[in-house]
Amino acid sequence: MNLLLVDSVDFPFGGAHSVHVSLLMQGLRENNENAFLVIPYGRKREKLSANKKKYGHFDGIPYYFVKDSKDIKKGFRFIDNFLAVIKTARLIRSRHKHKKLDAVILGGIVDVIRDAPIIITCAIFRIPIYFWLVEKASLNEDFQGIAGFFNHKSQQLSEWLLPKFSSGLIVISSALKQHYLKYLPESKILINPILVSEEIYKGMNRESFEKVKEKMTAAFKGKRLLVYSGSFAEKDGLFYLIEAFAETVKKYPDTEFVMTGKSANVTLMDRVRDHIKKYNLEDKVKMVGFVNADELLCYNTMADALFVCRSNSPFANHGFPWKLGEYCMTAKPIIATRVGDIDKYFTDNETLFIVEPNNPAAIAKKIDYIFDHYEQSLNVAKNGRAVALREFGYLEKSKEVADFIKANQKK
């Protein structure tokens, strides 16, 4: 099949989103599908996640940035992005006209207004379009101000309209599938939670990575290290993690907590900092912001334990933590909350350390257990890695996507 995966992502190194786009593309191509990645625009403004090349190949993945909008002023970003989407729609029409396109996969946080040119083009020319949906965005707790209000309404409209335009949906969780079963038959919805690869260093400069690792090893020598990596959002349970860590340092004063990433929500970031100050942890918690791929992998592989402690909210329960896959590949102990589909795949104390959500005492108790039984905890982590490879291996899961599209094309 000739497939276009259209996703506004920072490629190739832009966080969990870009990792999963890369793995899906890799898997499709290794399963002999002619897949091409089209990126209307990048999402992050951080220079370290930007790709300077407009088009090319990365690890065998052909990609094309339609428009680079990183230098556009904030007030004009929506217009600039919308123009990029229009150009993407023209590209889709051109490939269809020259019989080089069998289907489009539109991924990320799909918005029926912003992405209208792509959706309408596919509808007019009867190009099969599959939406790859990774959250129920209307439930997001982080909408702010007037812009947030309109974004929220747009997402509600999207969740109602997208099934009407789709040839099928690829969703991240059983809760999301349950929501869309109101609009589509089960045969048109595929659950594809996360993707993992054994090659965690793939695409990296190993020499550069080793230099970064050497520097970090010296910085954390003689210390226990806890790591949270991801977005700073209400769903991520950051306040519970800080409270749990406050208990941990009482027993293990040699422990430090590194938090990578940040949020565009300035108020939330200030609340996180205030919470750290409340527990007198300014010297123990390091908020390092967005880091490059080398640094992120170093933090994750050096950690004594990693966190995926989402809060118990409708938004979190409709998603699935992409970071969990990356964490599992490190074979380091992971503490996760019983949210969404976590316990459909993992078992507490056997393949993952699972706690009830919104419970800092439970998190602290689990950290104590890991530190006190570290060899046993590493065995649990090893088992969890095996589960992740079996359940989320990118080659098999990408084949499922291709087979799903082929099955629906025949109908």
Q: What is the CA radius of gyration of the chain?
A: 21
Per-residue pLDDT band at 143 (split at 50, 70, 90): low
Cα gap 404→267, rounded to integer Å: 42
Collapsing DSSP to helix, strand or coil, 164 comes out as helix
Cα gap 223→248, rounded to integer Å: 13
φ and ψ of 200, to 5 deg = -70, -15
Provide the mean pLDDT of the chain.
88
Per-residue pLDDT band at 230 (split at 50, 70, 90): confident
Mean pLDDT of 7-23: 83
Q: Which helix (H) or strand (E) holds 225?
A: strand 224-229
Closest residue by Cα to residue 68 from 56, 55, 210, 5 = 55
Among the ranges 136-140, 203-207, 310-314, which has the highest mean pLDDT value?
310-314
Among the ranges 75-84, 217-226, 373-382, which has the highest mean pLDDT value?
373-382
Which residue did the predictor score with more confidence, 277 or 199? 277
Per-residue pLDDT band at 43 (split at 50, 70, 90): low
Mean pLDDT of 292-298: 84
Is the per-residue pLDDT at 369 higher than 80? yes
- Yes or no: say if 38 and 6 are a contact pair by the CB < 8 Å rule: yes
129 residue type, one letter: I
- pTM attached to this predicted model: 0.89
Number of Cβ atoms within 10 Å of the Cβ of 380: 22
* Residues 6 or more apart in contact with residue 269 via CB below 8 angstroms: 232, 262, 263
Question: What strand order describes the sheet that includes 61-65?
Answer: 55-58, 61-65, 34-39, 2-6, 103-108, 129-133, 168-171, 189-191
Which residue did the predictor score with more confidence, 66 or 29? 29
Mean pLDDT of 106-130: 93
Domains and CATH numbers, the chain: 2-195+393-409 (3.40.50.2000), 206-392 (3.40.50.2000)
Is the per-residue pLDDT at 76 higher than 80? no
CA of 238: how far to CAs of 3, 209, 282, 359, in Å? Answer: 39, 28, 15, 11
- Yes or no: say if 180 and 171 are a contact pair by the CB < 8 Å rule: yes
* Residues 6 or more apart in contact with residue 369 via CB below 8 angstroms: 353, 377
